[in-house]
Every structure is written in C-alpha cells, then in structure tokens.
Structure 1
Amino acid sequence: MAPPAGQIRPGRYLAFFVAIVAVLYALVFFTGDGKAKPKLGIDLQGGTRVALTARTTSGDPSKESLNLAREIIETRVNGTGVSGAEVVLDGNNIVITVPGENGERAKDLGQTAQLRFRPVLQAIPAGPLQQEQTTPPTSGAPTSGAPTSGAAPTSAPPSAGAPTSSAAPQGRPAPAKAAQPTSQPPAPTTSAAPPSGTEQPPAQLPTTEACTNYSKLLADPKAEKGAVITAAKTCRQDPKIAPSKGADGAEVPADQSVQLAALSTLSCGPGNKDPLVGNDDPTQPVATCDQDGNEKFILGPSFLEGKEISNATAQVDQGGVGYVVSLSFTGTGADIWSKYTAAHVKERAAFVLDTAVVSAPTIQGVINGDTQITGGEGGFKSSEANKLASVLKFGSLPLSFDASEAETVSPTLGLSSMKAGLLAGGIGLLLVFVYSLFYYRLLGVLMILSLALSGLIVFAVLVLLGRWVGFTLDLAGIAGFIVAIGITADSFVIFFERLKDEIREGRSFRSAVPKAWVRARRTILSADAVQFLAAAVLYVLAVGQVKGFAFTLGMSTVLDLVVVFLVTHPLVAMASKSKLLSNSKLSGLGAVQRPVARKAAPVAGAAAAKEV
C-alpha cells in the first residue's frame, strides 16, 4: 500500500541519489582521459577568443553558409597546430577560441578566403632572383619547341605556361570523361640559363617607385596596414606585369622590368604573411608565391572562381602511381573550364587560395568534364592529395566576416581570474553556512550537507559536459553558479519555513514534515520553473559569455530539484523520526514549539478540570 501524501521511505531516495553520483563519477574516471577536471574557458586558463560576425548585403545569412564557413575556419584553426581549439556557431557569429599562448593567429583566420583559377604567365624558383631570366615570357601561347631536359638551355623563349620542373603537377581529364587520351608528352621545362647569344644584364635588379615604396613599408614595423595593402596592390598587381591589348588592338607584351621588380619584393615560405590576402583584385594580374615557398609566379587575371567547384576528392591514381585529386565543376564552371583548357593546352593554370598558389598543374588536353590533378612524377602522397582536395572543396568562405570581438588573456591573468571567482564563490557559501547554522541549527546542518552534495553532482556534470559537448567553464559560468547558491538555499528556506508554519498550527515535528513538504513542493517547483524559463530565454537571446552564465544558472536550477527531492526532504524526514535529532534544542524549532506548548497547556488544564 502506498504511503500517505508526503510520507516517503527516505532510504530509497538517498540510495537512488547515491546511485546517480556513483554513475556520474564512474563516467568521469573511466571515460575520456579519466581526469576529474572541468574544461576551462580562456578567461580562466588564458588564450584568445575571436568572434566573427557575418556580413551580408541583404538579410541574414543562411544556416548552410554559416555551417560551411564554420567547417572551413575549423580546418584552418586545426592547421595552426594548436590543441584544444574550438570553433562554434553562435547565432550569426562564429566564435574561435584558442587556449594557451598560441592563439594570436586565430585573429586572422576569419579573413574571407577566395579560391581562384589564374593563368600562369611566368614561374621561377623562389629565392634570390637570377638575372639570367631576362627573356620576356610569351603571352600565354604554348611553345612549339620540342621538350628538352631540365638542365639544358633552350634556344627559344620559355613558355609562359610551362612548368618549372618535370615533376610539376599535371591537369588531365578524369578517366570516365576524358576528351583526349591522357598519355600526353612531357611538358616543356623552363631553364634558368640565358638563351645563347644573350648579353649578360647588369647585376642590379630593376625596380619601380611603387615596389621601392612597398619594400620600405614592409620593412617598417610601424607602417599602417592600409598603406601596406595599397602599396602591395600598386607594386604586385601592376597591369604591366601581364600582356595586354593596346587601344588599336595590338598585343602589348609584359614589361619585364616591372615583372622583376614585383617578384623581387616577394618573400616566400611558411610564416610570411601576405598583405594581399583577402585584398587582391581578381581582375588584375598578380605576383605571388606558392604555399610551400618553392616558386614565385606572375599570374594573369582570374578566369574562374572556386565557388564553381562542386566537389573535390582524393583518389588512388589508376593510371600511374600515388594519388590524384578529382574535381567536379558546376554547369557554368565546367563550361568555362572546358573552353579555357581547349585554348591553353600545355600551359599551367594556378589554383590560388588567399593569393597563395595551392597547385599549378599543366593542362594535358581539352577537358570537357571532371578533371584530375596529378602530382607529376610519383604522384601526390595520400596526405598531400587529401589536403589539396580539402582546400579545393572548402577553401573559399561563402561569407564575409567582421571581427566583432577579439580578446587575448594571458595565462597569469586567467589564473588570477579563476582564484578570484573561487574566492567569491567560497565567500558566498560561507555566508550561507553561517546564516543557516545561526537561524536553523540542525536544519541548517542539513542545508549545508545538501549544498555540499549539490556541489558534488554539479562538478561531475561539468566535467562530463566539457568532455562530451565541449562546454567550457568561464567567469560568467562561475557567476551563474554563485547566483544558483542563493536559488538552491531558497528552496530549503521555503521547505523549512513551511515546516514552522505547520508546527505553529499545533503539529509535532514528525507530523509536520509530510504536510509541510506537500505544500512547499508546489512552491519550489513553481519558483524553479520560472527561474529555469528565465535562464532558457536568456540563453537563446544572449551571445558570447552571457550564454555561459545562462547555461550554468539553468543547469543549477535543474540540479537543485534533484537535491531537494532526493536529499533534503529525505534527510529532514529521517531527522524528524529520531528522538535525539528532533529535540527542540537541536532542531532549531524550539522557538516555534514553545509558544505552541504554552497555548496548549491551559487548554489541557481546563479539559482535566472538566473531567474531574
């Protein structure tokens, strides 16, 4: 038979709570890394946080575009080599969090990258420019000479589209849709040696006023970023570095001096930040490097945008060794690519991401469908092919972003913040403990024990949330927990004050507990429901760190109900059944019970006299 309303079996409730705690801590110690340590935010452990806000010309960006941008930026963050970095979507914002001291590069990861296809007008090895390369490159027409070895000089000018080595990546039709046989002759090789009979030029490299100014600004650490970008465009995107047509329609060759001046300003290799990243003009030629820093290029205006790539995958080369990268284009992109490859067989086309050349394969034939990029002799390695496929497929951000927030916190400051937060929480708990002991005595002890058990279960949940969903505890979250201390204590106060009301009505401690619980339970549920609803609304509407405050406040409210129902009420019920613990001097209910006893004494005396 079920017990009367308010009557419970305390042992069962406490056993159920112990089982919950046991399961939680089993998951803490036997899953993941097994460390009982919550994941801390950058304001507690130090690091960098950057919030990027999507910039659109009309309306809000689509969810698909935001998710794609988040995936691309996450790939870039992981590419920085730091561990523990996070990229999360927060409304129309993308928040990048990099813990530790390696997060400075995160501030540049949200720049709008554009993947473009540009013709290769000239390619030379990176490093000091050699004056032997004074023969003007052709305007893009394929060479008619027979292929030569990489070491021998040629008697004809080097082709503008020729690769610099026989191992250059090759572009060919995919086997399923090949328009021509893929067995093409080796691509011609340009040579650094001067053509025979050519007079050796002076040792001084040619320069221009624009490139001289650009070089000075690059060397000046105090130079304004806008001035550097403007100078870079003027020097490295000078129209004279590419062939053009004059007013009469006649061919105007590239100015070799302007080309060399632009190339001389390039410092290739990892770690060299290009000021033109995100700022280059696709309608103008550009002087740039490849991503590995091995080659310098003069590239023509963009003829195809990366958004026209529909898919890119890394595959084993069925017709050779190593791996290849297969590209699929959209309908418009396939048409443009087919026409371009038909007009530029045996020339190189550069795939350019953030102004850096990702790959510059030689076009082996007319390509009317899917395209394969090979790695030259030996093909690509698996890691190289997968990286290139990822860049080609996800290289361009579909949206432009503004850095709406950028914050860097040193580890020392983070440690100080954590100590301050823990100190504030400790002071809050101490005040609650002192108040509860002074006002409630034994009931105050039960309140303290309930708060301690609440902290135990909150800690385990924090560790597991950080491990499973990446939740990080920051200062705002600690503030939410400190506020929740008052909310949890308020639930106990409601129960205890209702208990006093029942005793004032003449009930004993033992009989008052079930009655008080039935009435207090409704109030506790209503108050916590309102509190949780407020936290949920705040979480949905807030951005940034305020979300952490709302989340911890809502989570603490839910756990408050668990503790009140499974711990506090059973403990009070057990105390009411104990002769020692129900003593009015210990329970803290003596001030309420004494007036009731005095009122009951005359009534009892009158009843006895009447009986006599």
Structure 2
Amino acid sequence: MAFFVAIVAVLYTLVFATGDHRAVPKLGIDLQGGTRVALTARTETGEPPSKESLNVSREIIDTRVNGTGVQGAEVVLDGSTIVITVPGENGEKAKDLGQTAQLRFRPVVGSVAAQAQPQPSTEPQPSVTGSAPPTPTSGAPTSGAPASGAPSSTVAPQGRPAPAPAQQPSSGAPAATTTAAPPATTSAATPPPADNPCTQYTALLADPKAETPALISAGKKCRQAPTLAPSKGADGAEVPADQALQQAALAALDCAPGKKDPLVGNDDKSLPLAACDQDGVEKFILGPSFLEGTEINNATSQLDPQGVGYVVSISFKATGSKVWSEYTASHVQERAAFVLDTQVVSAPTIQGAINGDTQITGGQGGFKQAEAMKLANVLKFGSLPLSFEPSEAETVSATLGIASLEAGLIAGAIGLALVFLYCLVYYRLLGLLTILSLVLSGVIVYAVLVLLGRWIGYSLDLPGVAGLIVAVGFTADSFVIFFERLKDEIREGRSFRSAVPRAWVRGRRTILSADAVLFLAAAVLYVLAVGQVRGFAFTLGISTVLDLIVVFLVTHPLVAVASKSKFLSSPKLSGLGSTQRSAVAQRAARVPAGTAAKEV
C-alpha cells in the first residue's frame, strides 16, 4: 500500500511540476474542436492516382503526424483526397504534412540574382559542415581550402569568403575567396526562339484557369528541356542552344515568396532544372541529380554550433555516404545545391571532401527553429509518391462531441453507481474496499492520461472515454474473482484470516490470465485499427495494466489488513456471515451421517 501511495505521489508531482502545471488531459478533436485539411492528389497526366500510391501516401502522412507530435489526428482516404483532421490549434501544421519532400542533390551550372540586391550583408552565410576534416583531392584546386588540422570540413557560398578555419596556415596567408563560373544571364540581345516552350509556360502561369496537368507539362518542357534549337541574337551572332534555354527558363521563373510551383513532386531527376532558392533572391540552373534524398538515414534540427540560427543535420545510408564523399572530393570549388521540392535550400561551394554527417544551414542568419524542424521532419519521414494540393483549413466544432461526452458520462455515472450499490449490498465491507479501489484506479488513470498528453501528445477522445468506462467493469471483475475465491476457502472451513492468503494465491492466477487476454486483445486492436478506434484500444490497454497495479498494491493488502482486525472481520460487517454459517451447517450435516455409518 505504501508503494502505491509513493507511485501516486510521484505521478501528481510530475503533473503539477511539469508542462503547463494544469491537471487537464489533452482532448481530441471531438471534445475540443480542431481543424480539417483536405490534400488532393494530382498527377502529371491528370489521370486518377493509383490506389497503392494513395495508401502509401496516407501511411507516410500518418507517420509524419505522429513524428511532429500532432497526436489525436485522423488521416483517412476519401477517393483521391487525403483528409487530415487535427485537434486544437494545429491546423496550419496539417498543410505542411502533405509536402512532397523530394530532396535531391544537384550540381549548380549557373545562377543569377532574382531581384535587385541591397548592400552586402554581414550575416552568416550558408555552409555545410561534415563530421570529418576535408580529404585532399589530387589535382583539385586548393585555394580557399581549410588548413591542415582543421576540425571540420566547411562548404561556403560561392563568391563569398569561407568561414574562418580553426587553424590558419603557418604562412598566415588568408584563405582565398572562390568565384563562380560565368553565370547564366538574361539579355534583351538574345531573345528566346519563337517556339520556345517557356512562352507557353509563362502564359499558363498568368492564366488563373490553367489546369495543373498542362502547367506541369509546359513547366517540364521549359525548365527541364535538355536541348533547344540555336537562335540568333540582336547582333546576328548565333546563341548556343543551352544558353538560350537557360535564359528563357530563368526569365520564366517567378521567385516571389508564396508563389506555387507546379513542378513540385513532378520534376525529372535525370534532367536539368531551373529553380529558385527558398528566400526568392537567387535563380539557378541545376544539373541532373547525383544523389537522392532517399539515401538519408536520419535528419535532426539543432542550434548552429558555429553561428546563429538553426541547422539541419543529416546522416546518410552507406551508399549515399559513399556517393556524397566521392562527389565532394571530385568537385572541389564547385557549388552543390540541396533542392527540396524544386526549391534550393542551400547552394554552398565545396572546399573539400565531406566524410560522414552533414549539416545544412539556411540563408542569411541560418534557419529559424520552425523552418529547421519542418525540414528535418519531412526529410526524416520520407517523400510522398504523389504531389498534393492542400485546401484551406476548415474549423471543426466540438459541439456534437461535447453533447455525446455529456451523455456518455451520465450513462457511465449511472452504471458506476449501480456497481457501487451492488457491491455494498452483496459484499458490505468488501464492497467498500471495491469502491475505494475503483476510486484509486481512477486517480492513477487520470494522472497517467495527463502525462501522456504532455509527453507523447496523446489526445483523449470519445472512443477513449468509452474505453475507460468499459475498463471499470473489467477492474470490478478482478475484485469479484478475488472475493469469490475467498468465499470458497471459507466454505471449506477456514477462517477469514486464514482464507485470505490461500484465496489470493489461487485468485491472482485467474486475474493475471484474464487481464493478459484483455491486454493482448487491446494491443491487437490498436495495431490493426485506424483512426479513433485506436483511442478506445489505447485507454482499454492502459486501464488493464493499471488494474493490476491497484489489485496487487491496494485491494489485496487492504483485505489482508481487514482479516486481521477483530472489528473489521466480524461476520456482520465483512459480509461473510452467511458464507460462514453455510460452512458450519455443511460440516454439521456431514458429522451425523458419518456417525450413523459407523454404528451400522
């Protein structure tokens, strides 16, 4: 009993000393309202997506829901639409859950400014830091590389000084800055050909009624076409095909913040790509992908140890780590772009081979915390096989759920009162112990639900409440098994005090077997079910485990204490008087019968 009191004390200390100090469980969408977002799948051809790809997408989004702590959310398929229902005020997160998250590593062929730039900033610039020092590459340029003995390999943005290494060469010469390859530039002197697909793409972008399949098709022809017929400049000179394509593709790009890119999730990794950076300040011509984000093993966000803001640390699988190390070693002083859903996250200049984990930083000032967490989550939980168009967040009212909860609680209270009344009439003192045990069980279950809401984001919904109410009956069954076994021992002629140990030894095996079967059923239901049914299974399983704690640490010790007290063990008070009288009558009936047999 003292151990149980200690458990309750620890639980409620955690309840009131951690989190927001409020002893209120986290509620599901049906009890507190929330937000619903519909993600409509789209394909390049406009054909309906396959059932398999939709199921895979639903599973990945469901995993992202759990990974970002948005528990209690429901992810269901409705035709070619995935509907996410999120409790509370996390509706805006639901839109991010449908992000395609296709991370690709592409070489930078050229770049231009997307808009007029202000004076050079003194903020920290993007960089990539490896877990091992850069490996010298035979024949590779060495200007700007970190000095021997530097603790980490660093990649700095093209055209800007690299971050200062830990140790400078003995000569004291500063690290040289790197310069870009001649960037692709747009010029009125080299207009694109009349049949340039970028003309159609630009027109479709300006048309609000343009259909998505047409936008994707035109976008790929414009921004990913590998060749284009040569054209004549204003001075009559021939413009190379690739340069004309780069000029037209860059001109067609709109890098304004918030501008939707129709190629998200639909770009071809084997073709070049014209893309913007996430800040909308630079345009890139990128080569085919040399490494896919599927080779990422894990991704986490953390404070930048060498600057301001946050960074995203990524570790590669064995194959990806080898490719990344070989590429960085053979492309020193060249830029590599980290492209997430056709947007360049970072495009640093390689100064040496990176062996091991890699850190991605954002633009000037690094990532913000929310940006780093979002990027880490979408990289860690995988890319979707489809691209999705999110709807506007729709507020869901909890009125119906609250009315159902009130009706359920009233029904549960009536049922619990009937259980209490039956226990008092039939078991008397033992009935009081049953009531006390049920109350203590409710106390510990409540604390556990509050803490689970804080630690793993568990949300209590209507099915979960139903699981708690059903668990009351199973908890009472454990007491009935013990008490009825106790009566059987008394009928065999034992006193209350001597019957308790034997009844407990025999009764607990039945209690353990029954609770094990119930817990197994709840676990199987939780694994196989989806949506709110899992809430029912979860609370039923938790209540079953806590039932054993109460029976072993509360009910049995209290019955043992009562059996040793003359006052509490009196037949009238204990409710065992009729059982004891029945046992005496049976013994008296057996004695005369035995005597008569001897006389015969």
- Please tell me the TM-score bracket, short chain as reference: 0.5 to 0.7
Q: Which residue of 1 aligns with 2:119?
A: none
C-alpha distance in structure 2 between counterparts of 1:27 and 1:298, whole Å: 52
Matches within 5 A, 1:248-259: 251-255=240-244, 259=248
The TM-score normalised by the length of structure 2 is 0.62
Q: AA paired with 1:440?
A: Y
Q: Deviations over 1:57-85 (max 9, x none)?
A: 9xxx9xxxxxxx99x9699x87xxxxx54
In structure 2, do the counterparts of structure 1 residues 102 and 28 end up closer, same or farther at CA, with 3 Å as the change threshold? Answer: closer
Q: Which residue of 2 aligns with 1:498?
A: 485
1:559 aligns with 2:509: no
- The Cα of 1:290 is off from its aligned counterpart by 1.9
Match of 1:305 among 291, 301, 318: 291
In structure 2, do the counterparts of structure 1 residues 177 and 356 end up closer, same or farther at CA, with 3 Å as the change threshold? Answer: farther
Q: Deviations over 1:273-305 (max 9, x none)?
A: 32322211233444433211234x252432533
Asked if the contact 1:115/1:353 (under 8 Å) is kept, the reply is yes
Asked if the contact 2:186/2:251 (under 8 Å) is kept, the reply is no
- The Cα of 1:355 is off from its aligned counterpart by 0.8
C-alpha distance in structure 1 between counterparts of 2:313 and 2:545, whole Å: 52
In structure 2, do the counterparts of structure 1 residues 576 and 429 end up closer, same or farther at CA, with 3 Å as the change threshold? Answer: same
Q: Which residue of 2 aligns with 1:610?
A: none
RMSD: 6.0
Matches within 5 A, 1:35-46: 35-42=22-29, 44-46=31-33
C-alpha distance in structure 2 between counterparts of 1:412 and 1:39, whole Å: 14
C-alpha distance in structure 1 between counterparts of 2:446 and 2:311, whole Å: 50
C-alpha distance in structure 1 between counterparts of 2:114 and 2:573, whole Å: 88
1:100 aligns with 2:88: yes
5+ residue gaps in structure 1?
A: 1-12, 62-68, 79-83, 89-94, 128-166, 608-612
Asked if the contact 1:24/1:461 (under 8 Å) is kept, the reply is yes
Q: Which residue of 2 aligns with 1:453?
A: 440
Q: Which residue of 2 aligns with 1:22?
A: 9
Q: Which residue of 2 aligns with 1:111?
A: 100
C-alpha distance in structure 2 between counterparts of 1:498 and 1:212, whole Å: 84
Larger Rg: 1
- The Cα of 1:599 is off from its aligned counterpart by 6.1
C-alpha distance in structure 1 between counterparts of 2:359 and 2:429, whole Å: 79
C-alpha distance in structure 2 between counterparts of 1:459 and 1:119, whole Å: 57
Q: Deviations over 1:485-524 (max 9, x none)?
A: 2221111111222233344445555554444334323322
Matches within 5 A, 1:457-496: 457-496=444-483
C-alpha distance in structure 2 between counterparts of 1:41 and 1:488, whole Å: 25
Asked if the contact 1:229/1:276 (under 8 Å) is kept, the reply is yes
Asked if the contact 1:38/1:466 (under 8 Å) is kept, the reply is yes
In structure 2, do the counterparts of structure 1 residues 448 and 169 end up closer, same or farther at CA, with 3 Å as the change threshold? Answer: farther
Q: Which residue of 2 aligns with 1:9?
A: none
Q: Deviations over 1:144-189 (max 9, x none)?
A: xxxxxxxxxxxxxxxxxxxxxxx976486996999x9842487699
Match of 1:268 among 235, 238, 256: 256
C-alpha distance in structure 1 between counterparts of 2:175 and 2:489, whole Å: 93
Q: AA paired with 1:212?
A: A
- The Cα of 1:452 is off from its aligned counterpart by 0.6
C-alpha distance in structure 2 between counterparts of 1:374 and 1:587, whole Å: 70
Match of 1:369 among 328, 332, 353: 353
Matches within 5 A, 1:48-67: none
Match of 2:427 among 409, 431, 440: 440
- The Cα of 1:340 is off from its aligned counterpart by 5.5
1:410 aligns with 2:396: yes
In structure 2, do the counterparts of structure 1 residues 225 and 451 end up closer, same or farther at CA, with 3 Å as the change threshold? Answer: farther
Asked if the contact 1:502/1:516 (under 8 Å) is kept, the reply is yes
Matches within 5 A, 1:190-589: 208-216=199-207, 219-220=208-209, 226=213, 228-234=215-221, 236-238=223-225, 251-255=240-244, 259=248, 263-264=251-252, 266=254, 268-269=256-257, 271-295=258-282, 297=283, 299-302=285-288, 304-305=290-291, 316=306, 330-333=321-324, 335-336=326-327, 350-360=337-347, 369-370=353-354, 383-384=366-367, 396=379, 399-401=382-384, 410=396, 412=398, 415=402, 419=406, 422-423=409-410, 425-507=412-494, 509=496, 512-536=499-523, 548-576=535-563, 587-589=574-576
Q: AA paired with 2:89?
A: E
The TM-score normalised by the length of structure 1 is 0.61
The count of residues paired between Structure 1 and Structure 2 equals 498
- The Cα of 1:542 is off from its aligned counterpart by 6.0
C-alpha distance in structure 2 between counterparts of 1:506 and 1:199, whole Å: 109
C-alpha distance in structure 1 between counterparts of 2:384 and 2:198, whole Å: 36
Q: AA paired with 1:208?
A: T
Asked if the contact 1:374/1:380 (under 8 Å) is kept, the reply is no
C-alpha distance in structure 2 between counterparts of 1:383 and 1:20, whole Å: 45
Give the share of equivalent positions with the same residue, in percent. 53
Q: SS where residue 561 of structure 1 aligns? A: helix
Q: SS where residue 275 of structure 2 aligns? A: strand
C-alpha distance in structure 1 between counterparts of 2:543 and 2:158, whole Å: 60
Q: Which residue of 2 aligns with 1:123?
A: 112
5+ residue gaps in structure 2?
A: 40-49, 74-82, 117-156, 232-237, 595-600
Q: Deviations over 1:351-398 (max 9, x none)?
A: 42211122345x6xx956359x999xxx97664499999999998568
